[in-house]
Amino acid sequence: MIPLRVIDTDFKFYGEVAKYESLQITNKLYGIGEIELHINRHMHNADLLQQDRIVFIENDYDTPFQILHREIALDENGKATENWLIKAVPLKSWLSDRIVLPANNAISTYFDTNVESIFKGLITANITDSNNINRHIPNLIVAPNLNRGQTLKRIVKRGTTISEELKDIGEFTGIGWNICIDISNKKFVFDIVDGVDRSTNQIDRPPVVFSTEFGTVKSLEYTESKLNYKNTAYVAGKSEKIQRKIAAVNDEVSGLERKEIYIDAAVTETEEKEVTLIGVGEHEDGRSYEYEYKVKVEVDRSEEDIITDLADKGREKLSEYEQTLFFSGQINTGRFKYGEDWFLGDITTLQHKDWGVTLDARITEAKEIHEVGHSKQIEVVFDKAIPTFIDKLKRTIKDATGTGGVTSGVSRAYVDEKVSSITSVDYNWNGTQLGVKANNETQYRYVNLQGPQGLKGERGESGPIGPQGIQGPQGLKGDIGPQGIQGIRGEKGDKGDIGLTGPTGAKGDKGDPFVYSDFTVEQLASLKGPKGDAGEQGPSGSKGDKGDVGPAGTTSWTGITDKPNIVTSVTSESTTDIASAASVKSAYDLAKQAKEAAENSSGGDNIMVVDGAIVAWSLKLNANKDGLVFVY
């Protein structure tokens, strides 16, 4: 998921929100988009998403949004869930909180300049440079004016919402607008959005083609309609001081191709000019003198200028009644990437050969969709979106309040009949009656546009039940449910394999020698380990070589200090005592030792000399026959 960074209007950074359930970002070239975010309230940093704070995609400073709405989402049963529903609007929505207030309490502001100058002139006059500092927006600045866009004559009436005025001009001229953030200087920057041409009809930059054939779109929707199409207009100016004038727009269209409309348009009646006047003064000595001074005065505009303005207004209004081509679709993000290969406001080429459709259109709306477990989706709208009911209602209200109203029925027929023989027409309203007179007439001729209410008709018979309609398209995927309860902890896994032996470390310095005096008796005792088990007897070795002949022995004990003391363990002459005092092996060893001593003595076999006495000895079995008895 792409991380969202959170700041406030003073550019204090709070942190990032990197995990959420779903995020939908809608950016519009002319209007105001929105963000819709679903996030579990226990997710990391979810508590940072507070009202009035600003969120933007990591390092994307062109599309910041301000949080205005938070609610706990409900499930299908109307019960509260663990998910927050967060809604935020782009910073450009700030301009919907300011209206146009012309200088000197004038009823309107008149522009005759390029589109960028109109846009930025409205912002500076009513916000950044307003005489009322309470109308300023903190840290909002206007980018340098590059005088982009076509020249336009425009009357902006007092009380008009600035964002609505910019939207109307943008749809007519193809230029959008935005408020981005300058992190380094801690400023909010207003500027226009003037897209570039990336269609196949130019060679300045790589073309961008959205086509099912090339696999650059997943789906396309196409609508063309002439239901509200108009191409010829009669535009009448509103005026209290001059005779009402009418201008015809596209009057050359004829026959069935001609689709007429009647438009009320506001034009400025006067203009401000600077004139030079001569004044008369008097010196102290009484002599008089003349001097010049300049003043600004309002003078009536020429009829030619008024007709020109009416025609411009008519062409602008006719743009709302053009033949409609609605093209939208879901973009395949693999080939052309949003924000790299194409941007909001760019002109691209659309193609669907099966439908026989190939056209160049401006991208006016882009929607990014990020959902857990799904790849990123991009949905776009080309040129103009299909008008919603709210769009149509706004147009109706705007027309009815005199900012470009449209009159039909009898009044239009009356104009059509008389227009060929008159040069100008004045009109006057009296309730529901419209009064019209030619420029050379003195009285209005009124036509009541509201007829009497007809009688209520009888209720018709019920018609037959129609055939069952085709099944509608599958609904949108619902929101992801709340996170489930943590499962039971699993059993401990098997011990992993022993890792690879690390490299041998460098040889350490030689330590000090062991000194017993450094240790206590207890410490030395603890160093001794337990006695190990006896090892298995090794195999018999090979017979060694015969040794050398030893020196001649002696038969005397004289000079021998280590002669065996073989009888010191005998306490009695009884053979029984001897047998009980030693095991068989001990008796055998004793006997063997005695025998060896006797053999080395002067007594010969079975005779030994002890302290000069001759002792005879022998070996016998004991009574139990499990041992030997040494008898002497």
Answer whether 314's CB lies under 8 Å from 249's CB: yes
How far from chain centre, in Å, is Cα 629?
Answer: 105
Burial category of 90 from C-beta neighbours within 10 Å (exposed 0-12, middle 13-18, buried 19 and up): buried
Number of H-type helices and E-type strands within the chain: 8, 31
Instruction: Give the highest mean pLDDT range of 165-179, 508-522, 546-560.
Output: 165-179
Of all residues in the chain, the percent with pLDDT exceeding 70 is 64
Which pLDDT band, with edges at 50, 70 and 90, does 608 fall under?
low
Considering 71, 94, 117, which residue would you say is the last residue of a domain?
94
R_g (Cα) of the chain, nearest Å: 55
What number of CA atoms fall less than 13 Å from residue 616's CA on the CB side? 0
In a domain, 427, yes or no: no
SS3 78: coil
Q: Which of the residue ranges 182-186, 266-270, 421-425 would you say has the lowest mean pLDDT? A: 421-425
Q: Under a CB-based contact definition with an 8 Å cutoff, are residues 174 and 193 in contact?
A: no
Closest by Cα among 239, 303, 242, 264 to 412: 264
Half-sphere exposure of 161 (CA within 13 A, CB side): 13
3-state secondary structure of 371: strand
- 564 has a pLDDT exceeding 50: no
Q: Which of 17-21, 176-180, 556-560 has the highest mean pLDDT?
A: 176-180
CA dihedral 299, 304, 310, 314 (to 10 degrees): -160
Burial of 626 (0-12, 13-18, 19+ CB in 10 A): exposed
In DSSP notation, 45-88 reads: TGGG--TT-EEEETT-TTS-EEEEEEEEEE-TTS-EEEEEEEEE
User: DSSP character for 93?
Assistant: G
Return the pLDDT at 45. 93
Nearest to 317 by CA among 393, 257, 394, 399: 399
Domain boundary among 94, 123, 142: 94
* DSSP-H helix ranges across 114-237: 115-123, 162-173
Residue 569 has pLDDT above 50, yes or no: no
Tokens of 627: 């041992």
Question: 115: which 2 tokens?
Answer: 């589109």
Is residue 610 in a domain?
yes
> For residues 155 and 110, what is the distance between their CA atoms, to the nearest angstrom?
5
**Predicted pLDDT at 429:** 62
CA distance 385 to 453: 37
Q: Which domain holds residue 627?
A: 575-631
d(CA 101, CA 176): 22
Residues 125-134: b if buried by 16+ CB within 10 A, e if exposed: bbbeebeeee
At 64-115, the pLDDT tens digits run 999 999 998 767 766 667 889 999 999 999 999 999 999 888 888 889 999 9
Of the two residues 390 and 297, the one the predictor is more confident about is 297
CB atoms within 10 A of CB 301: 17
Q: Are strands 140-142 and 187-193 parallel, antiparallel or unpaired?
A: parallel
Model confidence at 1: pLDDT above 50: yes
For 220-237, the pLDDT digits (tens) are 777 777 888 898 999 887
Instruction: Find the angle CA(82)-CA(33)-CA(52) to the nearest 5 degrees.
Output: 55
Show Cβ contacts of residue 265 under 8 Å, excluding neighbours closer than 6 positions.
Answer: 235, 236, 237, 238, 309, 310, 313, 314, 317, 404
Whether 284 maps to a domain, the answer reads yes
| Beta pairing class for 377-382 and 324-331 | antiparallel
User: Of 50, 69, 94, which closes a domain?
Assistant: 94
Write down the residue that tokens 């280590």 correspond to.
562
327, two tokens: 């093209």
Percent of the chain with pLDDT over 90: 28
In a domain, 607, yes or no: yes
Higher pLDDT, 625 or 33: 33
Would you say residue 606 lies in a domain?
Answer: yes
Question: Is the pLDDT confidence value at 214 over 60?
Answer: yes
Q: Using CA atoms, how far apart are residues 365 and 195, in angstroms rounded to an integer?
A: 12
User: What's the confidence (pLDDT) of residue 189?
Assistant: 97
- Flag whether 258 is in a domain: yes
Residue 281: band (very low, low, confident or very high) from pLDDT cuts 50, 70, 90: confident
Instruction: Give the pLDDT band (50/70/90) at residue 215.
Output: confident
**Residue 126 DSSP symbol:** I
CA distance 46 to 41: 6
> Measured between alpha carbons, how far is 359 from 200 in angstroms, rounded to an integer?
10
- Give the largest Cα separation in the chain, rounded: 186
CB 263 within 8 A of CB 314: yes
Q: How confident is the model at residue 575 (pLDDT cuts 50, 70, 90)?
A: very low
Residue 576 is predicted with a pLDDT of 42
Residue 325's H or E segment, with its range, is strand 324-331
DSSP string, 128-157: IT-SSGGG--TTEEEPPP---S-EEEEEEE
Tokens describing residue 334:
């693999």
In a domain, 147, yes or no: no
Q: What b/e readout covers 481-500, taking b as 16+ CB neighbours within 10 angstroms?
A: eeeeeeeeeeeeeeeeeeee
Instruction: Let me know: does 126 contact 109? Beta carbons within 8 Å.
Output: no
Indicate the angle between helix axes 162-173 and 115-123, nearest 10 degrees: 170
The band of 580, judged by pLDDT with boundaries at 50, 70 and 90, is: very low
Q: What's the domain count of the chain?
A: 3
Q: How far is CA 227 from CA 205, 404, 520, in A?
A: 37, 20, 109
Nearest alpha carbon to residue 43 among 18, 78, 12, 64 = 18
Instruction: Reply yes or no on whether the pLDDT at 617 is more than 60.
Output: yes
DSSP-assigned letter for residue 124: I
Look at 202 and 556; give whichever has higher pLDDT.
202
> Which element (helix H / strand E) includes 279?
strand 270-282
pLDDT digits (tens, 9 = 90+) for 335-352: 888 888 999 999 998 888
- 623 Ramachandran zone, left/alpha/beta (phi>0; psi -120 to 50): alpha
Dihedral angle computed from the Cα positions of residues 163, 165, 171 and 172, in that order, rounded to the nearest 10 degrees: -160
Per-residue pLDDT, averaged over 524-546, amounts to 74
Residue among 39, 30, 33 at smallest CA distance from 16: 39
Q: Quick check: is 527 in a domain?
A: no
- Tell how strand 217-225 and strand 357-371 pair up: unpaired
